[in-house]
């Protein structure tokens, strides 16, 4: 799954990678949590242009009569999103890119869970495959919400969790966003499903970070502070390369 992530890229790196101008109110985030606004790149349904916008993390289907469900859909399984009622219309017409510089998972049990930050080896920007939806709220107004696609974990992430977010290569960005004119079962929809596979583990690394990130209320550089050594040993995954 993916339940927390970071986006600490510069404004310029977002512009260069996503080929669209980020909003002027863009702020780096170290600990983005469900129900919070997230930055995403979509194809505007009215203009057809690639644009950045914000949506609440936790997709609410357009047919829902709840604008704040108890269990928001923060993730969608890549294997079933194209056919599952909650996601199939979004998968066909409302795909998006969610920029990130890392995501968190936790190892251990009980009260001693160790957070790990997974990122590219060069620390660079990447993008999750996402879905978005627009809901007309029962209390008035429109609400945009989103979810992150997940797939089977690669070798690195699998030591902590059996699922990981779907990370797309830059050359797949245009294909994933699409043109908004697909029909059910179209060749384009079938083609983009093939993009949703585990990201190569050799291009990633994981870092044990301080437990402050366990609280979604904490958001700042301290979230990426390396975990403190205990008895001279720093937490590490069994097969991690020495940094």
CATH code at position 113: 3.90.1680.10
Strands 50-57 and 142-152: parallel
Number of domains in the chain: 1
Catalytic status, residue 2: yes
Q: Which residue has the higher pLDDT, 5 or 243?
A: 5
Which two three-digit tokens encode residue 143? 């609400």
Distance, in Å, from the CA atom of 50 to the CA atom of 41, rounded to the nearest integer, reads: 7
Catalytic residue among 21, 79, 105, 243: 105
Catalytic residue among 2, 96, 146, 223: 2
Distance, in Å, from the CA atom of 139 to the CA atom of 66, rounded to the nearest integer, reads: 10
pLDDT single digits (tens) 79-121:
999 999 999 999 999 999 999 999 999 998 767 789 999 999 9
Q: Grade residue 187 by pLDDT with cuts at 50, 70 and 90.
A: low
233 within domain boundaries: no
Which domain, by its residues, includes 74? 5-224
Indicate the average pLDDT of the chain: 87
238 within domain boundaries: no
87 within domain boundaries: yes
Sign of CA dihedral 95, 77, 204, 218: positive
What's the pTM?
0.89
Distance, in Å, from the CA atom of 21 to the CA atom of 5, rounded to the nearest integer, reads: 22
Spatial CB neighbours of 205, under 8 Å, sequence gap ≥ 6: 118, 119, 120, 121, 156, 240, 241, 243
53 within domain boundaries: yes
């Amino acid at each position: 799954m993916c339940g927390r992530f970071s986006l600490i890229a510069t404004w310029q790196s977002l512009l260069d990678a996503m080929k669209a101008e980020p909003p002027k109110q863009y702020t780096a985030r170290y600990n983005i949590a469900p129900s919070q606004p997230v930055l995403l790149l979509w194809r505007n349904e009215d203009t057809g242009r690639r644009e950045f916008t914000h949506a609440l993390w936790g997709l609410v289907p357009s047919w829902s009569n709840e604008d704040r469900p108890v269990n928001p859909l923060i993730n969608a399984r890549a294997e079933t999103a194209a056919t599952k009622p909650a996601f199939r219309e979004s998968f066909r017409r409302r795909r998006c890119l969610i920029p990130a510089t890392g995501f968190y998972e936790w190892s251990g049990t009980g009260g001693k869970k160790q957070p790990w930050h997974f990122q590219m080896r060069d620390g660079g920007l990447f993008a999750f495959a996402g879905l978005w939806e627009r809901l007309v709220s029962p209390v008035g107004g429109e609400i945009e919400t989103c979810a992150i696609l997940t797939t089977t974990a690669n070798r690195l992430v699998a030591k902590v969790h059996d699922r990981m977010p779907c990370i797309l290569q830059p050359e797949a960005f245009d294909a994933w966003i699409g043109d908004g004119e697909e029909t059910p079962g179209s060749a384009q929809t079938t083609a983009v499903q093939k993009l949703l596979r585990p990201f190569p583990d050799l291009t990633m690394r994981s870092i044990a970070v301080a437990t402050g990130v366990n609280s979604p209320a904490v958001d700042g550089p301290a979230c990426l502070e390396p975990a403190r050594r205990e008895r001279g040993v720093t937490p590490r995954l069994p097969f991690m390369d020495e940094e």
